[in-house]
Structure 1
Amino acid sequence: MTVTAKVRKLVLERDNWSCVCCGQSVIGRPYSLQHRRAKKMGGSRLPWIDQPQNLITVLGSGTTHCHARMEARGADDKFKGYVVSEWPQIDPRLIPVEVATVDGRRWMWLTPDGGRALTPPADAEMAGCGIHVDFFTCDTCEGCKQCGPCGCELAAEWAREAS
C-alpha cells in the first residue's frame, strides 16, 4: 500500500500545509508525510498504515529538520504523539498529537476522514490524565505511564536512591 494523492491532500489540508511540530509552512520547502506508526521496510498489512490518522505533515526529509528528529523515535516525540510504538498495536486515532497552531500548541486526535478532534474517539478508554488511552495506566497505582513515571516507578526510584 502507499499514500494516495487523495490522502496526501487531506493530510496537508488538515495540517494547514504546516509542520505539526514547529508550525512552519511547508510550502516551497522540503517536507514529508511522516508515518506515526512506522511502516517498516517491507510495508505493512495494517489497514490504517497509509491513512490520515497515521500521517502527519513534517518539515524536512528523513535526514533534515523535524522529520530527521522523529526518525530517532525519541521519548519526547512519542509523548507528543508524533511517533506511535510498534507494540502494543494501537490504532493511531486513539493516540493524540500535540499540534503547533496559530493559537499555540493543542492536543488533537487525528480522524480517519482527515479531520482533527479536540476530544478522544467515543470508543477510547482513557487513562486518568484524560490525554492517553487506558493501556498506559499502571495496574497498581493507576498513574499514566505515558505522562511520566507513575507512583510505583517513583517509589522504586526513591527506594534505590535511599539504599
Structure 2
Amino acid sequence: MSQPSRRTCDLVDARDECRCVICGQSLEQALSASRHHRRMRSHPFPGLHETSNVIDVCGSGSTGCHARIHGNPGFAYSQGWLVHSWDDHPEDIPVNTYQHGWVLLDNDGHWKPYEPTKESK
C-alpha cells in the first residue's frame, strides 16, 4: 500500500483537528496540505501508514511547514516531526504539536501528553 488507508487519514485528521501540527493553520484554509510520514516513506517498515507515524501539515514537500521539516531535518528530529530510520515505533517518540505541546501518538488516532522520565531528560 503506497498511501495511508482512508481510515488512517480520517483518524489523523480528527486527532490533528484538520490543522497543521506545526503552525496550527487550518488545513481547509491552507493553499496546500499533506499528511507527513514521520519515519519517511524512503525507510519503509510495517507501521509506515499507522496513525502514530502520520501527521497533518500545511504545504507540500517544497512549501509550508512540510518544506520546513525537510529543509531543517536536525530540528525536525528534535521536535519529533521526523523519526529516525531505525526507530520502528513512532508511538514511542514524542512529537511537539502546536495544539497540545509534547505528546505521544498512538495507532488508534489518539494522543496523550508526554511526560518525560528522569532517564529521558
Name the TM-score, length of structure 2 as normaliser.
Answer: 0.88
Report the structure number with the largest CA radius of gyration: 1
Tell me whether 1:111 sits opposite 2:106 in the alignment: yes
Deviation of the 1:20 alpha carbon: 0.4
- After superposition, the CA RMSD in angstroms is 1.9
Unaligned runs of 5+ in 1: 130-163
CA contact (8 A) 1:97 1:109 kept: yes
Q: Is contact 1:12-1:57 (8 Å) kept?
A: yes
3-state SS of 1:11 partner: helix
Higher relative contact order (CA 8 A, sep 6+): 2
1:14 aligns with 2:15: yes
**Equivalent pairs, count:** 118
Return closer, same or farther for 1:65/1:48 CA change in 2, 3 Å cut-off: same
Structure 2: how far apart are the matches of 1:119 and 1:70?
21
2:89 is the counterpart of 1:96: no
Q: Which runs of 4+ in 1 moved over 4 A?
A: none
Matched to 1:34, the amino acid is: H
Q: Does 1:127 align with 2:112?
A: no
Counterpart residue number, 2:46: 47
Q: How far apart are the structure 2 equivalents of 1:119 and 1:28? A: 29
TM-score normalised per structure 1: 0.67
Percent identical pairs in the alignment equals 31
Distance 1:128 1:64, change over 3 A: closer
Aligned to 1:64: 63
List aligned pairs for 1:137-152, cutoff 5 A: none
Partner of 2:36: 34
Using the alignment, how far apart are the partners of 2:118 and 2:23 within structure 1? 27
Distance 1:126 1:85 in 2: 22
Conserved 8 A contact 1:73-1:83: no
Distance 2:9 2:82 in 1: 18
Quote the residue 2:83 is aligned against: 84
Larger deviation, residues 66-75 vs 106-115: 66-75
| Alignment partners' CA distance in 2, 1:31 and 1:39 | 17
